[in-house]
Structure 1
């Protein structure tokens, strides 16, 4: 595998420090001294206009005077010199640059200088980290290009921070706890290299086992989510978000009353499969636990203690943190009856009585671990007469090695139990001085498990559709409204869009006169509802524009006139199309809910669900989710609301039709995917009862979409590209399916690789592997379809799918070219499969807006080279390795 394209930045073999200095207190002195003191094994060159030596090393006036190649330039000089330095570095062939100086985008002159410098960098292909950065550290390589003055320990965690000040605080805190790092990366203003590319590098970094991320704000949500999800698939990622209070004060929130910008960020992180924490202490504790492979499969905690007081306090903490106390099974209770004193608690917390022996502790904990209804056990030891803290600790260490479920250990006290704590540390067991800390960590691990399940969800834009939506009809309504210069759809138009996606609506007919309204009501049948119809009135309640339960013609005529007059009085400039007439539906057991869509300035469309009617704004009972949705995501979304508790059997109310409700949310998700013009949608109320659902009122707000945008570009998460699925008949009449790979294809992909010949595996992976590692398997099957694609050719055999071949591409940083790979099963070679599959891959790449496809082929693989030539690839010998051949094609 080729080195990552940012290797010159993060693991350089030669570094020039421009502005290196001996002046105490200067940034140039601090950075250069740190590089010298860190025992950096690469070449180090000081660049200084006024001094011939710096730190006892010969200096040059310009980077162009350095004879050997320079991979990284660290710039510590004033901003005004940056364009000239950038030009020198470009001519020298420098590949990456770290801007250690501060830059203010509030000053016009500084913005102009920086824009000029970045333009030069782009021209020469120089990748730039910064400005406004603390710097960059790779403790595992002795590389420290920062002005941080304290020593940083080596470890397996990578720290990426948007704030230099917070980064130094985290490093100081970590040092006091003995925590080390593989990398420390300060992102700063991120005018070029940003979170996405940094995360990509860390995913491939073998020294990094966990990633800590501090985020203040996001520029490109799609790129951020794409990289974050890719990272979270292979390594634990823990995120701390700053700026929540600042966002509230500044009003940096979404425009709709349905969503809050901070809540949307939380939902996005959950969907990315990462763990979000609130404090620096939680950040490092969670990271250590995840990097140590502690995992749980649920939220059910059992507490075993020899002191009921601490046990109850721990149970209180569980309630506070939303951790569920496990209900012990009858079998577990029976086992505990056999091994515990008669006066044990017979409940969770499990009080095994104060004089508990080490074996009593072991028996009690083991019984809880064996209970299928328990996901983890918290053991609280209190030193009392007859207890043995060290032997008990030794038994717990042994028990943890036997069990796949985590044990959280809290030995209360100080000097008396210090030896046990040392034992726990050496054995790398999860131990805490206070039980509430253990409960908090258990909660975080449970949240991480939930988020990892969310990460696995790859719904398509039309996931589970009961029927094909009439997208063309919906687009026609939208195009007509936009052509009229309007952004707000009337209720009739909104319901027409919903109906085209199969959502049940209460039909709405428009009357422009009293007589028309009377005729429509007679046709519909009394009682009816009248509503004002105006593109300028978003909420009818603002003008008292609704009259309910009209039962006769006289009342209807009076209501019609009143509605029109009130609307004109409150909003005299509003255009009034007329008054809509609807049947007055009565549902005896219906509940009112709301389904909505709002637009977040960072993450795009967000779907909301919650209590309907006036409760939307009063109770704020709603849950959010990023589209696209599937059944799992819909169920989880509904369960997070309070209104969900009354959707089942409740007093005299029968259970609602959950399938019908789920269907509405899935159809709204389809709308969001396929209609990027929909900026806001509110279905309120949506009535749901035991017979189904009905939309009583709906409103949609549009915004124009620029021409030429890629499909689904408006969304933070790319849906499964179902439009790329196609049936193909091979030359030998074999019926096959070409489709994008899904996460559930992992076993099929592994079987495919195992069945390849050793020569085929070597030609593909340049290694004699027998099968894919778990990490590589995850990367190959859990895809972000925006920047990578894998198309599998499969056939159905005895009810199961068999993979015949797979082709994939990964986009380059320029997002205009991509690197491809093709694998064809040995028994299927020579049947034209490679040609057919690569042609489908070309189509997929063109849909992504890519222009060039390139790759490498082993020169010994003559068959593959012939196929590439047949497909129109340009074939050239690798300039550095004659065993490889470069192939490229303009799409």
Structure 2
């Protein structure tokens, strides 16, 4: 794949500093001095109208006088000169620009100059970073285009921040801790280059092993999430957020007002597989621990200590931080009973008594590590009579090298244990002066593991083999309401939309008079519920518009008139269409829940789940997640609520039908994926018991669909593209399916590669690999369908599993206009026309994404592939630098590619 288009910004071979100066205190002097002092290995060109020499370098009056290509222009001039500077840079062919001054407090005229300059940059194809007062740094390349006066060490962490002030504080803190950076990128206002593009560059940057982000606001949620998920798959990413609870759109209903922007941002980070922290110290600590490859596989912590007091305090800290104290298994308890003094604690924390010897420590810690119910062990040592801190430390270092689970070490004290701490530092063990810091890190690792599990989920809007929804019917209802100028559906309409997606609802029938209501109730059977029907009244109970448990016709007629009268008195301007009649659902052991959707201005639709009925405002028991959901994500939402703990059976209450609840949540997720006009959904209550789930009441708010024209363009996370799934029959009669690759295909892909001949593996991977590495498996199966596609042809085996016959994939180039493709067919299935079928479908997918060019490299000796490329209309040329390769490319425009598929 060709280099990222931001390479000239982060790895320039030539830099022009426009406004470079020798004037003390000026931005131009500070930036140029930093570049010279940083020992930048490329060419430096100072540009100054009034000086012939700046800092000992020949100066130029204009960029146009420089007789060389310029990768990066650093601009430190007043804003009034910026449009002229931009024109000169555009004519000279400058590729990228850094605005190293802050224009955020400019007067309106200067803002107009900035807008004019950015328009010129777009016209000339110049990418612009900033404006940002701190500049930008690439310490690993000696590129310090910054006015920062402190020391910045080279290292393997990248820091990307929106605030220059916060970035400077982070750099100062990092210097005191000997932390270095591959890149330091303050984004400032991010008027052009934004988070997503910078993250895309850092994902493939070999100098970056971990990424630290400071985020205040997001411009492009889809690009941000795509880039963040791509980074989270291969590198640890830690995020700190400012402005968590800024005012936003409260929405139409109370459900929207119970969800704040900070919670939505947290949910987005969880789906991206990254870790959120609250302080700068936590940011760097988490990054160092993750970069050192410390990982946990769950949230359960065991504590081993030689003293009850420190153990109890540590346990209190764990509970306060939401860390689960592991319950030791019976075999572990039995082993410790044999090995420890009789007065040991017989539980977690494991108090092994004050005089614990090094071997007693090792025995207890090893037993906890071997317990399947333990995910990590915190070892606390207090120097007491009979203890040996250094020998104990040496045994812990050796045990950590043997163990697959992490050990967190906290040797309390100062002078007496300093030698042990030095040993831990040299051995790169996770050690902490206080146990609560260790517990914080464990909690962060557990959250990171949970988020990485969420990252693996790529659910589709139509997951599995469930009954198809009535999309046409739902869309017709919504179109009618919007055409009438209505943003709220009546309850019966909302239930009709839910029913179209096969969500069980309590039926509602509209009555325009008490006679009609009596007739409907007779048909349904008493008792019934009456509710006012008005498109202008969102919450019927607010106007007394609900009467429950009506048992006979006399009571029904009276209730009908009472409801209408109350509503007209409370809301005289409201249009009242009548009263709906519904069966009265009585379920003795039912739980009232709420399932909903709210709209976030940045991330789009957000799903909510929690306790419903009157408890919705009393308990504030809810969790949120970004759709689309699958079973794993729905279960995770349920399990994070207090009401969720009662669903499996609670005291006298029998367990509910969890499958039915999960199905409702998945169907609601499906609705918001397929119906971009949905702004809010409030299903409350959703009644669930052992016999299933039913919607008793529902509200649905609408807005015009986004005008971007893309399917799922309203979603921050691209759903699984189920529309690309096709069933085919090969010419020999073999039934096959072609579908986009899923994360659970990893082992199938590994078996596919292992089954290829050595020649086929070399033709595809240009190496003699026997199997894919874990990193390659992740890269090939965890796809972001918004920027890449993998189409797998599979057939069903006799045992019900799947066998992969072939795979074709493309990855979008950074320019978002072209893509690089690959194709490989199993040896036993070659010559059956599979290649043209897959490539034709790959062309269609690329066109759907708006791509214009597909290209790739083929070994010149791979005659079969070159023949196929010719047949499909690819242009084939010799590689300009490597005679063993051919370059193939095809414009994705006009009719479908030529060539007979033979299928």
TM-score higher than 0.5: yes
- In structure 1, the partner of 2:214 is 214
- In structure 1, the partner of 2:432 is 432
CA displacement at 1:707 relative to structure 2: 5.5
Aligned positions of 1:492-507 closer than 5 A? 492-507=492-507
Separation in 2 of the partners of 1:544 and 1:681? 22
Separation in 2 of the partners of 1:651 and 1:458? 37
CA contact (8 A) 1:104 1:110 kept: no
Separation in 2 of the partners of 1:760 and 1:64? 52
- In structure 1, the partner of 2:28 is 28
| Post-superposition CA distance 1:673-722 (Å, at most 9, x none) | 11111111111111111211121111111111156621111111111111
CA contact (8 A) 2:4 2:814 kept: no
Residues 579-588 or 225-234, more deviating: 579-588
Give 5+ residue unaligned stretches, structure 1.
Answer: none
Separation in 2 of the partners of 1:149 and 1:252? 41
Matched, 1:818 2:819: yes
- In structure 1, the partner of 2:148 is 148
SS of 1:784 mapped into structure 2: coil
Q: Structure 1 190/760 Cα, relative in aligned 2: closer, same or farther at 3 Å?
A: farther
Residues 823-832 or 265-274, more deviating: 823-832
CA contact (8 A) 1:215 1:242 kept: yes
Give 5+ residue unaligned stretches, structure 2.
Answer: 894-903
Separation in 1 of the partners of 2:465 and 2:363? 51
CA contact (8 A) 2:5 2:815 kept: no
Separation in 2 of the partners of 1:105 and 1:858? 56
Matched, 1:839 2:840: yes
CA contact (8 A) 2:133 2:147 kept: no
Matched, 1:16 2:16: yes
- In structure 2, the partner of 1:520 is 520
Aligned positions of 1:402-801 closer than 5 A? 402-464=402-464, 466-706=466-706, 709-799=709-799, 800-801=801-802
Matched, 1:867 2:874: no
CA displacement at 1:820 relative to structure 2: 2.3
| Post-superposition CA distance 1:202-253 (Å, at most 9, x none) | 11111211111111111111111111111101111111111125x1xx4566
Q: Structure 1 22/2 Cα, relative in aligned 2: closer, same or farther at 3 Å?
A: same
SS of 1:233 mapped into structure 2: helix
CA displacement at 1:280 relative to structure 2: 0.5
SS of 1:849 mapped into structure 2: coil
SS of 1:60 mapped into structure 2: coil
SS of 1:200 mapped into structure 2: helix
Q: Structure 1 265/421 Cα, relative in aligned 2: closer, same or farther at 3 Å?
A: same
| Post-superposition CA distance 1:734-789 (Å, at most 9, x none) | 33221101112222223333444555444444445444333232111101111111
CA contact (8 A) 2:308 2:351 kept: yes
Q: Structure 1 464/837 Cα, relative in aligned 2: closer, same or farther at 3 Å?
A: closer
CA contact (8 A) 1:258 1:598 kept: no
- In structure 1, the partner of 2:400 is 400
Matched, 1:852 2:887: no
Q: Structure 1 508/301 Cα, relative in aligned 2: closer, same or farther at 3 Å?
A: same
Separation in 2 of the partners of 1:439 and 1:428? 18
CA displacement at 1:860 relative to structure 2: 4.3
Separation in 2 of the partners of 1:194 and 1:377? 41
- In structure 2, the partner of 1:110 is 110
SS of 1:822 mapped into structure 2: strand
- In structure 1, the partner of 2:892 is 890
Residues 742-751 or 768-777, more deviating: 768-777
- In structure 2, the partner of 1:352 is 352
- In structure 1, the partner of 2:101 is 101
Separation in 2 of the partners of 1:761 and 1:634? 39
Separation in 2 of the partners of 1:25 and 1:773? 52
CA contact (8 A) 1:459 1:628 kept: yes
- In structure 1, the partner of 2:85 is 85
Matched, 1:380 2:380: yes
| Post-superposition CA distance 1:817-837 (Å, at most 9, x none) | 333222333443333222111
Separation in 2 of the partners of 1:762 and 1:90? 44
SS of 1:4 mapped into structure 2: coil
- In structure 1, the partner of 2:901 is none
Separation in 2 of the partners of 1:182 and 1:761? 35
- In structure 2, the partner of 1:369 is 369
| Post-superposition CA distance 1:439-466 (Å, at most 9, x none) | 1110110000111010111111012353
Q: CA RMSD in A?
A: 1.9
| Post-superposition CA distance 1:487-519 (Å, at most 9, x none) | 111111111111111111111111111211121
| Post-superposition CA distance 1:419-456 (Å, at most 9, x none) | 11111111110000000100111011000011101011
Separation in 1 of the partners of 2:507 and 2:559? 20
Residues 556-565 or 369-378, more deviating: 556-565
Aligned positions of 1:237-256 closer than 5 A? 237-245=237-245, 247=246, 250-251=247-248, 256=256
CA displacement at 1:653 relative to structure 2: 1.9
Separation in 2 of the partners of 1:29 and 1:757? 61
Matched, 1:809 2:810: yes
SS of 1:217 mapped into structure 2: coil
Residues 195-204 or 797-806, more deviating: 797-806
Separation in 2 of the partners of 1:106 and 1:472? 51
- In structure 1, the partner of 2:67 is 67
SS of 1:617 mapped into structure 2: helix
Q: Structure 1 71/253 Cα, relative in aligned 2: closer, same or farther at 3 Å?
A: farther
Q: Structure 1 768/56 Cα, relative in aligned 2: closer, same or farther at 3 Å?
A: farther
CA displacement at 1:619 relative to structure 2: 2.2
CA contact (8 A) 1:19 1:46 kept: yes
CA displacement at 1:616 relative to structure 2: 1.7
CA displacement at 1:880 relative to structure 2: 5.8
Number of residue pairs the alignment of both structures matches: 888
CA displacement at 1:886 relative to structure 2: 4.4
CA contact (8 A) 1:495 1:698 kept: yes
CA contact (8 A) 1:63 1:92 kept: yes
Separation in 1 of the partners of 2:835 and 2:471? 34
Separation in 1 of the partners of 2:481 and 2:379? 64
Separation in 2 of the partners of 1:108 and 1:878? 52
Separation in 2 of the partners of 1:74 and 1:860? 47
Separation in 2 of the partners of 1:134 and 1:731? 64
Q: Structure 1 734/518 Cα, relative in aligned 2: closer, same or farther at 3 Å?
A: closer
Matched, 1:389 2:389: yes
- In structure 2, the partner of 1:315 is 315
Matched, 1:230 2:258: no
Separation in 2 of the partners of 1:88 and 1:879? 33
| Post-superposition CA distance 1:274-305 (Å, at most 9, x none) | 01000011111111111000000111111111
CA displacement at 1:7 relative to structure 2: 1.3
| Post-superposition CA distance 1:398-419 (Å, at most 9, x none) | 1100001000000111111111
CA contact (8 A) 2:788 2:809 kept: yes
SS of 2:520 mapped into structure 1: helix
| Post-superposition CA distance 1:106-157 (Å, at most 9, x none) | 6432332222222222222222111125222222222211111111122211
TM-score, normalising length: structure 2: 0.95
